Structure 1
Amino acid sequence: MSAPITTPEPELLRADHAPALLAFEEANRAYFAASVPDRGDAYFRDFDTRHRALLAEQATGACFFHVLVDDDGAILGRVNLVDVADGSAELGYRVAEKAAGQGLATRAVRQIRDLARTAYGLTELRAATTLDNPGSRAVLTRVGFVPTGDVRLDGRPGTSYVLTL
């Protein structure tokens, strides 16, 4: 078993993160697709254009995209706040397979929860995950999210959550 991975501080997504972010997504594509819908070939083919669009969207304050970068410059995870409006945002996150099961997601989501309240002035976070993703459900529960109902995510049964900040 490898040594536990420490949680790097979340960094707002920047243009220079593009190569490491693409490597992260490519290396973990099959791993992510086992629990969340695959991003599709177009995501990888058009990555540079998409990355620039995310940065432009972030500049408007409608979204806050965060990456967790290790000491070697590799991305271990990402935690995003999207659809920011009226004091609320949707939380989404993913962690590299090599970092899974070591508490990285829980610590990172807690860090973003705190940033959402203090730096971004949000009062509520929403999230959703599929029923067949127990790790994600556990992270949300540990951080204080409470289930609010049943949802379908790309045709799969899931649960929606909310957290009042």
Structure 2
Amino acid sequence: MITLEPLCPDHAEELLGFERANRAHFARSIPDRGDDYFTGFADRHAALLAEQAAGTCRFHVVRDAAGELVGRVNLVDLADGGAEIGYRVAESAAGRGVATAAVAEACRLAATGYGLRFLTAVTTRDNPASQTVLARNGFAFRHEFLLGDRPALAYRRDLADLG
């Protein structure tokens, strides 16, 4: 069982530890955030909280049954009834259904808590685990494109069945 918690100021230190511990793991499937992300983390965290307070984004930490922070799920660029979902799960939690459950809960929250009608998602072509998470959560493939220099896939999920 997992739970999603809205991002709050108290998450900063724990979230930075999560990002540092999993940096190499994440970089294998998505572009690395770079050193500046880590050195400027406090300012970045404050900026995310401001975006959330403004209602343009919804950020969440994912906790496992023991209360450990094992992931993140973000809904960004909320506009016109939609948002883009992004997620990452700790290497230690990979392959246990955490991402699938977290995305399912985020879809439910998007529809019932945030009033969204659809979500979009992007994953790199060489990330079959993420593609599986999206498929299991009802996301439909839309098109291919380049994410930086990496082939990527775009998806969409309508949320009418959840609202």
Give TM class, smaller chain: over 0.9
* SS of residue matched to 1:10: strand
Q: Is residue 145 of structure 1 aligned with residue 139 of structure 2?
A: yes
Counterpart pick for 1:47 among 41, 47, 65 = 41
Q: Which residue in the other structure is 1:136 paired with?
A: 130
Q: Is residue 64 of structure 1 aligned with residue 61 of structure 2?
A: no
Cα distance, 1:158 vs structure 2: 1.3
Q: Is residue 120 of structure 1 aligned with residue 124 of structure 2?
A: no
Counterpart pick for 2:13 among 10, 19, 29 = 19
Q: Is residue 104 of structure 1 aligned with residue 98 of structure 2?
A: yes
Unaligned runs of 5+ in 2: none
**Alpha-carbon contact 1:77-1:94 (below 8 Å) kept:** yes
Q: With structure 2 as the length reference, what TM-score do the two structures score?
A: 0.95
Cα distance, 1:74 vs structure 2: 3.5
Cα distance, 1:72 vs structure 2: 5.9
Q: Percent identity?
A: 57
CA distance, structure 2, for counterparts of residue 45 and residue 104 of structure 1: 28
**Alpha-carbon contact 1:20-1:74 (below 8 Å) kept:** no
Q: With structure 1 as the length reference, what TM-score do the two structures score?
A: 0.94
Cα distance, 1:69 vs structure 2: 2.7
The two structures, once aligned, show a CA RMSD in angstroms of 1.0
CA distance, structure 2, for counterparts of residue 118 and residue 38 of structure 1: 33
Runs of 4+ residues deviating >6 angstroms: none
Which AA in structure 2 matches 1:58? Q
| Alpha-carbon distance change, 68 to 90 in structure 1, aligned in 2, over 3 angstroms | same
Q: Is residue 32 of structure 1 aligned with residue 26 of structure 2?
A: yes
Which AA in structure 2 matches 1:30? A
